[in-house]
């Protein structure tokens, strides 16, 4: 029975190591968008995240039953000054085992804060940030713990040659350095601008906005980069301003008259479709932009929405009056009708005064006394090294907590553009809702 239990202990030790590193890898792949389908990696991470603690419990039980080096034996060895390499390694193995158990428990319980059901239980004293920040410590502890176990395996198999020990030591050191390197916060990264498969360089300090009615000096949009590249002779751009849509429209790029559109994401983000005017979308350091061909149907639907907004704006005597504003909180639901939005100029570092953004919707409702709210300025957030935006911290009694907070949708279209940078023309609706990401 003892031999069988010891074998189970050894099998589960390697299984739990494999599961731990797979779980951590999947977590990094999802959080840092290493692959296009990051939602798949998030799902796999959640699945292995439930299997890992169970395997750890089995391993711990068999470790207590069959590989339990008692502290009394360790103390006796120290008192007699008869400390062998085996005693030292077993002691360190015991220390790392208990530390791994503590760290794995903290990371697992704080990981439960990801689920809205468990957040009220664990979120306040075991925030989700522990799950994100402490996994590197768990990884290093497991590497050391496994290294000691492997060392005993070499002893059992009588593998004592210096070259084997050196190779194994270098392998452990390399894996540890890789884990530390991967955990380092990603840099801001260089901005990237592509048209089709061709990349173009530009100096942001040389770009002026073609929309001085919207942007302050020094700030500019995605479309302004195209205009700049045309002025430097890197591309040939033909475009015109469409009054009925309040935006510049691309006629051709380098002679190609296809239906051009764009994708953009800021630092820490991933490519996404959007329905925002190209000359309204502000550029930020670290932006990754792709100009590409879209379908005629998609472009027609986008342009149709633009025309509807401009017509609504003119109908309301050049005022932004939103027919329906909805706030779907965690504990409340409210709708407001025909809300006249006024500018608060929170981002007059980027936009000209009186330019209205999605953030002004919340501030207008607050100014009218319909809601209470608080804002927070975010410089950076984990992988997003350059955020520099205001976010809604709370509305009424619902506050941002962990990975849960308020998001917004404009005319049924969601994108990751911050509310204080989302210029409004005259949308048919704005929805603010509480969700976890």
- Domain(s) labelled CATH 2.170.130.30 in the chain stretch across 317-436
For 371-415, how does the pLDDT look when each residue is reduced to its tens digit (9 = 90+)?
999 999 988 776 667 778 999 999 999 988 767 889 999 998 888
**Which CATH code, of 4.10.1240.10, 2.170.130.30, 2.70.98.10, 3.40.50.300, is assigned to 317-436?**
2.170.130.30
Strand partners, 335: 326
pLDDT for position 348: 94
CA distance 283 to 244: 24
CATH number of 2-183: 1.20.950
194, 253 contact by CB (below 8 A)? no
For 145-162, how does the pLDDT look when each residue is reduced to its tens digit (9 = 90+)?
777 777 777 776 677 666
Give me the helix-helix angle, 85-111 and 71-79, nearest 10°: 140
pLDDT for position 71: 54
For 164-184, how does the pLDDT look when each residue is reduced to its tens digit (9 = 90+)?
667 767 777 777 777 777 666
pLDDT for position 405: 87
pLDDT, average across residues 267-283: 86
Total-model pTM: 0.72
**Which CATH code, of 1.10.3470, 2.60.40, 3.40.190, 2.170.130, is assigned to 192-301?**
2.170.130
Please report which confidence band the pLDDT of residue 50 belongs to, taking 50, 70 and 90 as the band edges: confident
**431: nearest Cα among 410, 413, 414:** 410
pLDDT for position 151: 76
Strand partners, 408: 432
For 300-334, how does the pLDDT look when each residue is reduced to its tens digit (9 = 90+)?
999 999 999 999 999 999 999 999 999 999 899 99
**279: nearest Cα among 223, 230, 238:** 223
pLDDT for position 47: 82
pLDDT for position 394: 94
pLDDT, average across residues 13-33: 74
In SS3 terms, the chain reads as CHHHHHHHHHHHHHHHHHHHHHHHHHHHHHHCCCCCCHHHHHHHHHHHHHHHHHHHHHHHHHHHHHCCCCHHHHHHHHHCCCCCHHHHHHHHHHHHHHHHHHHHHHHHHHHHHHCCCCHHHHCCCCCHHHHHHCHHHHHHHHHHHHHHHHHHHHHHCCCCCHHHHHHHHHHHHHHHHHHHHHHCCCCCCCCEEEECCEEECCCHHHCCCCCCCCECCCCCEHHHHHHHHHHCCCCCEEEEEECCCCEEEEEEECCECCCEEEEEECCCCCCCCCCCCCCCCECCCCCEEEEEECCHHHHHHHHHHHHHHHHHHHHCCCCCEEEEEEEECCCCEEEEEEEECCCCCCCCCCECCCCCEHHHHHHHHHHCCCCCEEEEEECCECCECCCCEEEEEEECCEECECCEEEEEEECCECCCCCHHHCECCCCCEEEEEEEEC
- Domain(s) labelled CATH 1.20.950 in the chain stretch across 2-183
Whether the CA torsion 350, 353, 355, 358 is positive or negative: it is positive
Please report which confidence band the pLDDT of residue 217 belongs to, taking 50, 70 and 90 as the band edges: very high
Strand partners, 423: 357
Count the neighbouring beta carbons within 10 Å of the beta carbon of residue 158.
7
Q: How remote is the C-alpha of 225 from its chain's centroid?
A: 26
pLDDT for position 76: 60
């Amino acid at each position: 029975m003892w031999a069988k239990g010891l074998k189970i202990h050894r099998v589960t030790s390697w299984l739990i190591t494999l599961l731990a590193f797979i779980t951590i890898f999947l977590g990094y792949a999802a959080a840092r968008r290493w692959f296009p389908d990051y939602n798949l990696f998030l799902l796999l991470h959640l699945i292995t995240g439930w299997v890992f603690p169970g395997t750890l419990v089995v391993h711990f039980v068999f470790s207590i039953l069959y590989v339990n080096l008692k502290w009394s034996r360790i103390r006796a060895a120290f008192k007699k000054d008869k400390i062998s390499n085996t005693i030292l390694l077993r002691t360190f193995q015991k220390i790392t085992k208990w530390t791994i158990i503590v760290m794995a428990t903290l990371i697992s319980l704080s990981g439960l804060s990801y689920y809205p059901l468990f957040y009220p239980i664990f979120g306040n004293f075991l925030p989700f940030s522990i799950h994100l920040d402490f996994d590197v410590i768990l990884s290093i502890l497991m590497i050391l713990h496994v290294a000691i176990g492997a060392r005993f395996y070499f002893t059992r198999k009588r593998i004592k040659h210096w070259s084997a020990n050196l190779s194994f030591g270098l392998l452990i050191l390399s894996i540890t350095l890789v884990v530390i390197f991967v955990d380092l916060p990603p840099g801001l990264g260089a901005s990237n601008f592509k048209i089709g498969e061709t990349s173009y360089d530009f100096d942001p300090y040389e770009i002026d906005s073609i929309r001085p009615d919207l942007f302050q000096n020094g700030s500019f949009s995605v479309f302004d980069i195209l205009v700049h590249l045309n002025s430097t002779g890197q591309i040939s751009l033909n475009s015109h301003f469409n009054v009925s849509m309040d935006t510049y429209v691309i006629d051709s790029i380098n002679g190609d008259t296809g239906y051009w559109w764009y994708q953009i994401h800021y630092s820490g983000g991933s490519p996404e479709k959007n329905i925002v005017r190209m000359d309204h979308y502000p550029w930020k350091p670290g932006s990754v932009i792709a100009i590409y061909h879209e379908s005629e149907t998609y472009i027609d639907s986008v342009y149709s929405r633009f025309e509807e907004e401009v017509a609504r704006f003119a109908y309301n005597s050049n005022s932004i009056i939103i027919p329906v504003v909805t706030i779907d909180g965690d504990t409340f639901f409210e709708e407001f009708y025909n809300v006249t939005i006024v500018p608060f100029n929170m981002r007059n570092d980027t936009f000209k005064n009186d330019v209205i953004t999605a953030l002004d919707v919340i501030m207008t409702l607050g100014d009218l006394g319909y809601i209470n709210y608080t804002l927070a300025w975010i410089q950076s957030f984990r992988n997003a090294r350059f955020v520099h935006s205001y976010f809604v911290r709370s509305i009424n009694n619902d506050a941002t907590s962990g990975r849960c907070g308020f998001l917004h949708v404009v005319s049924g279209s969601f994108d990751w553009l911050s509310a204080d940078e989302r210029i409004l023309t005259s949308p048919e609706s704005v929805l603010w809702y509480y969700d976890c990401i």
